[in-house]
Structure 1
Amino acid sequence: MSSALDFDLRIDHDRFLSTRDRQLHAILTVTASAGAGDGPAEVDGARYAEVIVVDCSGSMAHPPTKLGAARRATAAAVEMLPDGVRFAVVEGTHEARMVYPAHRGLAAASPATRDAARRELGRLAAAGGTAIGSWLELARELLAEHPEAIRHALLLTDGRNEHETPQRLAEVLAACAGQFVCDARGVGDAWEPRELTRVAEALHGTADAVRRPEELEADFRATMRATMAKRVARAGLRIAVVPPARVLSCRQVHPTIMELPVTPVDDRSVACATGSWGAESREYHLCLEVDPAGRPTGEDLRVARVDLLVDDAPAARPVNVLAHWTEDLALSSRIDPRVAHYTGQEELSRLIADGCDAYDTGDRATAAQLLGRAVELATAAGDAFHLEQLRLLVEDVDATSVRLRDDLPRLDVISVAVRSSVTVRDQGPRAASGPVPAADAPPGVCPAGHRSPPGARFCQRCRHEFTDPADAGPVPT
């Protein structure tokens, strides 16, 4: 299989700004596709390095089927590794221990090594605590020997990270960032969704709940299949600004929400790593601070250029970020539909995650309020995925409130929480689900002076909620 991918970079953004605006928002769409004439072929295993980390803490013994399911799932994942893939299996407790191979290194996948790894898996036993940072530190050490490979770790846990400090985990994640991609899975109902999403976000992977132990094997197989479909080890965005503009943030907003670290390159440029790639499409929300002082109005001005780099070489045609300052309220109050869509998805993600946190800590009133707002936002957006997730938590939905389900299983709460970062793609224009504002209705203006379209529920720049029409206040003159 050829390692080449064809990349395309596209931008949608709010270019018309009021002379009072200080932020510019853009959605960057990166699409990678197989090169012309690239048909299915055998995977070159030598291009991949894999570490599978299996939680073997004492809680994995309850119920007894859990560890057995983890053994079978790991064996299935190992079986899927093509010949030549460098791999290891790590046992995770309050420390990290090599399961296979016995030495601190990676073995090359072959019929003999896959059989040997499966035999060692039969010896796994549940005992000890949970220290996810130690597990990831060993994975980093093992994968560091293969810097040119597409490096990946699959981590399974069933409990909280109780045997090391949050600071220790943060330090390890910082050391691992950019070194490999990690997909994190929680099984059972005792793990913490914020911990798993923290790992996935830092290491450009995914976090998810495996609701029943018997589902582990299918999940591990799917994860290995997706990993072996990756064809580019490292890609990233390079954003060069025209002073005085500067980058405030850049986050992935599809298929999941994750903050991208912004690393200075020089006095005008920053880099944002995006991890490994297969044939797929992702979208990013770029926010720039801009200043109209001394800049002309009524014309397009470049405030930044965005390049997509693969192994430090340009991989797509760059795009320009333009600002057009205007006193025309009709222009400056428009919000680009894609910017509006993903701003809403980010708000929805926060509401669901915070609502689940509130419920998990016993604050049912706050949980009902936050999840009710999430239902309202998802309904207005026609977001079937998140509405399906929310129905696991709420029973009655009306215009103003929801009723939480009685005696919610914690498994439902944490499953919805960890999936709150998943977003649905913008499907383009659709019919409005509510009343259409009058043509002469004024735009919404938040306390910071940002304008949103007439009838907007939230400020689409700072997410201030317009709880009452009068809340918008007069349009500044």
Structure 2
Amino acid sequence: MAEFTAQVFQNEFLPDGGTDVNAIVSVTCTNAGTAGTAGIVAGEVIIIDTSGSMGDRPMEAAKQAAQAAIAEIVDGTYFAVISGNGAAFLVYPAVTSGPALVRMDARTRQEATQAVGMLRSGGGTAISTWLDLCGTIFASVPQVQQRHAILLTDGENGERPGVLQRAVERATGYFQCDCRGIGVDWKVAEIRPIAQALLGTIDIVPAPDQLRAEFQAIMRSSMARGVADAELRVWAPQGARVVFVKQVSPTVEDLTTRRSTVNDLTGSYPTGAWSDESRDYHVSVRLPAKAVGQEQLAARVQIVVGGQVAAQGLVKAKWSDDSALTTRIDGQVAHYTGQAELAAAIQEGLAAKAVGDEETATTKLGRAVQLAVETGNDEATAKLRKVVEVEDADTGTVRLRKAVDKADEMALDTSSTKTTRVRRS
């Protein structure tokens, strides 16, 4: 049976007149099991881009990757495969009505593998139809409660503005989706909102021969999520306000606007499915100031599974006139504040570079280099060095490289929200 623990890192001391309390709440899950355990029925949908832009080599790689992912699905899991171009088509199972998911076993695995092998590329790209069909497929088997999809694309979405966004909104809260782009002709800015809203990941697969291993890894990760869904609940006292709630590890994801009301003092934030893993959350609460010497519970942060509290951490506040106490910044809070700023600096710098604003791009990416080094994010540092020439990392002095491989730029963009954790004794 899955077990959760929660640990709080903060400086609970506030100066006279101080109001804002910041804490990192680290949540760890162990003994999660595999997808579909504990009486929860799991479902998987693989969405393959089969638009005309795929071409022979990427199309063949996509088919092999989908087949590799099918091989990783645990027996008993419901699954389906979608082909997506200017519309969405159910590749497997071959049904026209009724349930559009089948349980995985030796027979269905072979049939699905053969069906994927018959796919051909052609047509445009309408990702909203892919997401909508995925939702319809999951809805056809109501007993499936743990719903996950893999989406592969290779080009720009060809739909009118707003169409894809509305499809993402329809899918939000219903299924999770990990997104991958093959090659360099797709737009990170189109796909990132899908992954963020559907509690998934995004990454670039530069070369077709890398796709098979990527799909295997995604499916293995999904199959390891034995906890179908968990929510983070934050209680704050009367008169207080939750300023924000952000996941800060393993990636930066702002959950603030995803709040749903539990009661007048408590909000719930989605976290999706869990495997054996740790995630860190930055919770910021604004309290009415109290007199020096007083103390208060600033927040109660709980991880809730199936309506039951699995773990909780307490965020505290104490008012003091001792500056040695009140000016100390907790190392965890400082680290993740820098990581969140790093993600924003990379994205803003690349956006400025894309429109030819070299001055802003240089400033933002220089700050990103500085933050990456300060926070020990070696992956971000290495990827930044492929986009800028670093003259002084400590001061963030850089120059934009004249010739940058587009794949390197996209890799920096897609990985901008990935964070490093603080080493804890």
- Which TM-score bucket, shorter chain as reference? over 0.9
Q: 1:400 to 1:50 in 2, by over 3 A?
A: closer
The match for 1:269 is 266
Aligned to 2:78: 86
Equivalent runs, 1:39-54 vs 2, <5 Å: 47-54=41-48
Q: Counterpart in 2 of 1:102?
A: 94
Kept in 1: contact 2:63–2:116 (CA 8 A): yes
**1:31 matched to which residue of 2?**
28
CA distance in 2, matches of 1:146, 1:90: 19
In the TM superposition, residue 194 of structure 1 has moved relative to its aligned partner by: 2.4
Q: Cα distance, 1:42 vs. partner?
A: 11
Query: How far has the Cα of 1:128 moved from its partner?
Result: 2.1
Using the alignment, how far apart are the partners of 1:131 and 1:23 within structure 2? 45
Segments of 5+ residues of structure 1 without an aligned counterpart are 430-477
Whether the 8 Å CA contact 1:243–1:303 is kept in 2: the answer is: no
Aligned to 1:376: 370
**Aligned-partner SS, 1:133:** helix
2:345 matched to 1:348?
no
- Does residue 17 (structure 1) correspond to residue 9 (structure 2)? The answer is no
User: Could you say which residue in structure 1 is the equivalent of 2:135?
Assistant: 140
Aligned-partner Cα distance in 2 for 1:361–1:138 = 35
After superposition, give the CA deviation of every residue in 1:15-66 in whole Å (9 maximum; x if it has no partner). Answer: 212244332211111100117xx8x9998998320000011122112xx201
Report sequence identity in percent. 38
- CA distances 1:110-143 after superposition (whole Å, capped 9, x unpaired): 2221222122223322222222222112112222
SS at match of 1:358: helix
d(CA) in 1 for partners of 2:152 and 2:111? 21
1:299-318 Cα offsets, whole Å, 9 max, x none, are 321122122100111112x2
Task: Give the alignment of 1:74-473 within 5 angstroms.
Answer: 74-103=66-95, 105-144=100-139, 145-165=141-161, 167-260=162-255, 261-292=258-289, 295-316=290-311, 318-398=312-392, 399=395, 401-428=397-424
CA contact under 8 A between 1:49 and 1:146: conserved in structure 2? no
String of CA shifts for 1:271-312, please: whole Å, max 9, x gaps. Answer: 0110000100001111112221xx332132112212210011
* Alpha-carbon spacing, 1:45–1:67, altered in 2? closer, same or farther (3 Å): farther
**Equivalents in 2 of 1:114, 1:381: separation in Å?**
45
- For residue 257 of structure 1, what is the amino acid of its counterpart? V
Deviation at 1:12, TM superposition (A): 1.2
Cα distance, 1:390 vs. partner? 1.0
Larger Rg: 1
Cα separation, partners in 2 of 1:342 and 1:147, compared to 1, 3 Å: farther
Contact 1:194/1:418, CA 8 A, preserved across alignment? no
Does the 8 Å contact 1:360/1:410 carry over to 2?
A: no
Alignment-mate amino acid for residue 6 of structure 2? L
* Contact kept? 1:182, 1:203, Cα under 8 Å: yes
| CA pair 369-91 structure 1, distance change in 2 beyond 3 A | same
Distance 1:376 1:360, change over 3 A: same
Work out whether 1:71 is the aligned partner of 2:66.
no
Please report how far the alpha carbon of residue 367 of structure 1 lies from its aligned counterpart in structure 2 after TM superposition: 1.8
* Counterpart secondary structure, 1:302: strand
Distance 1:400 1:75 in 2: 45
1:439 aligned residue: none
Given that 1:137 and 1:176 are in contact with CA atoms closer than 8 Å, whether structure 2 keeps it comes out as yes
**How far apart, CA to CA, are the structure 1 residues paired with 2:192 and 2:409?**
14
TM-score w.r.t. length of structure 2: 0.92
Unaligned stretches of 5+ residues in structure 2: none
Q: 1:95 to 1:23 in 2, by over 3 A?
A: farther
1:427/1:259 Cα in 2 relative to 1: closer, same or farther (>3 Å)?
same
Contact 2:35–2:228 (CA under 8 A) maintained in structure 1: no
Shift of 1:229: 0.6
Contact 1:150–1:230 at 8 Å: present in 2 too? no
Inter-partner Cα distance in structure 2 for 1:223 and 1:101 = 22
SS of corresponding position for 1:221: helix
- Superposed displacement of residue 326, structure 1: 2.6
Equivalent AA in structure 2 for residue 21 of structure 1 = G
Q: What is the match of residue 466 of structure 1? A: none
2-structure distance, mates of 1:22, 1:194:
36
Shift of the 382–41 alpha-carbon distance from structure 1 to 2, 3 Å rule, reads closer
Kindly provide the amino acid, as one letter, of the partner of residue 89 in structure 2: R
